[in-house]
Amino acid sequence: MAGKNWWRGAVIYQIYPRSFLDTDGDGVGDLPGILAKLDYIAALGVDGIWISPFFTSPMADFGYDIADFRGVDPLFGTLEDFDRVLQKAHALGLKVMIDQVLSHCSDQHPWFLESRQSRTNPKADWFVWADARPDGTPPNNWLSLFGGGAWRWEPRRGQYFLHNFLPSQPDLNFHNPEVRRAQLENVQFWLDRGVDGFRLDAINFCFHDKHLRDNPAKPAELRTGRGFSPDNPYAFQYHYFNNTQPENLGFLEELRALLDRYPDAGALGEISSEDSLATTAEYCTPQRLHMGYSFELLTEDGSPGYIRQTVEALEAKMTEGWPCWAISNHDVQRAVTRWGGAQADDALARQLIALVCSLRGSVCLYQGEELGLPEAEVPFEALQDPYGKTFWPNFKGRDGCRTPMPWTASQDAGFSTGTSWLPVAQTHRERSVERQLADAGSVLHSAQAFLQWRKAQPALVHGDIAFFAAPENVLAFVREAEGQRLLVAFNLSADTVQWHGFAGGKLLQVPGLVTPEMQAHTLLLPPRGVAFAQFVSQERC
């Protein structure tokens, strides 16, 4: 991945700093902790890392509420600590992407502290301010994703301000060119420091409808949200006006022009809109973002039909861009639990890594996926996530996927010498890095072997994709590039599947995976089985 377009087909390891490794005993992971484990990450066979926010923040949303876009919060270390991470990662051949949260900031940011003081100060128009209706209610019906209305009254100005997330995360007014310029300068600061790219948080939320039109109601039968509580009123609306505005396309082109001034810098946009696949395709072009991912594979539906439908829909829409897939991250229940339930096992964990790394596109692997970590149970009294606290008990928030990384089987999991900010799950200690490194048959060793093998398969790294007719419960597709044609099949069920008349060619022995059996022309796929074959048939479906 050292050449041009390093991000194309790359496997990017997501690090959630608070939960990765704590080196100073305060119970919160830090940049020196990342530095200490870069050799481990490089040994996995990934191509780069994405570090979730480490910027100065009051931590109301654990770093996604930024009070200084160029500063490192003392919880995580110093700017010099980041430079050391960057230097060592590059020495190990790892690219470094960092989060950029451009659409909003913390209410403790100096910009907002100034803006809220009056309607005439130099920053007065840097945020989305609006007068109350005649009866004193907010200017429209927009809702916050974290529950309740998206407007908060500010007595200093006698106006409401917009917050699509927490009230302590005011939205910036991107209709103001000074705001756009300031955020591009913040991006440039990190480019000048040597980062290789950015994961752009909530990038479709930068602009709002200038006319503040009400969002229309959504019928009850369509209120199926992704990543939030089923009783969250946010699902009661079509979010046509509080995000994903046409003006955002121009800003993305400004951002791309900046990125193009730096050798091979890449941008990955997080996109959540009413039609996320269409928005992803629109945002990811040679003039805008390099890559985009939405939440379509972060749902509870892990069936072959749904995965095929989702990938084919994006492929049909995205004629110029490059997709990026993730099945776990810091915002959703871990995939082995979400798709496997209580019966999730190591076979599923191995399969899911192979699956997401075999789709056309780049990949984000979340820390702990390589260990097969299930979702952790976090009791209410230990809950930290404001989202979970609001919607408990119907929705337990995001803490279950954010618990500390288990490095050892000890009580503290080798994460911290102090009291960790979230409790360590016993089920995670049993799957610690230390234990799995000592077990040649572990999920960790399987992941390492598969990821190293994938690097040498051009069809998997940057090839085309075409789905293939297969038995029920089997997801099958062909990847092809540079004369290599691979048929890839996944038995997504807990039962053995017989594929009669299998015409996929010679089965490959893939490191880290069990090669299924062939009897005559019948492929026997064990529960959660995976098959890679040198493809020979011209059949398509």
Confidence at 504, pLDDT banded by 50, 70, 90: confident
Residues of the chain with CATH 3.20.20.80: 11-107+175-454
pLDDT at residue 1, rounded to an integer: 45
pLDDT tens for each residue of 514-536: 999 999 889 999 999 999 999 76
Query: Token digits for 529?
Result: 């089985």
Single out the catalytic residue among 154, 201, 315, 412.
201
Single out the catalytic residue among 47, 81, 107, 270.
270
Beta strands in 332-408 (DSSP E): 362-366
pLDDT of residue 403 exceeding 90, the answer is yes
Contact 96, 82 (CB under 8 A): no
pLDDT at residue 136, rounded to an integer: 98
Residues of the chain with CATH 2.60.40.1180: 464-534
| CATH class of the domain defined by 11-107+175-454 | alpha beta
d(CA 394, CA 388): 9
pLDDT at residue 225, rounded to an integer: 59
Whether 201 is a known active-site residue: answer yes
Q: Which of 304, 290, 295, 333 is nearest to 493 (CA)?
A: 304
pLDDT of residue 149 exceeding 70, the answer is yes
pLDDT tens for each residue of 55-93: 999 999 999 999 999 999 999 999 999 999 999 999 999
Contact 163, 150 (CB under 8 A): yes
Give 508-512's long-range contacts (Cβ < 8 A, gap of 24+): 508/532, 508/533, 508/534, 510/354, 510/450, 510/453, 511/449, 511/450, 511/452, 511/453, 512/350, 512/445, 512/446, 512/447, 512/448, 512/449, 512/450, 512/453
pLDDT tens for each residue of 306-365: 999 999 999 999 989 999 999 999 999 999 999 999 878 999 999 999 999 999 999 999
Just give the CATH number of 464-534: 2.60.40.1180
pLDDT of residue 280 exceeding 60, the answer is yes
d(CA 357, CA 461): 9
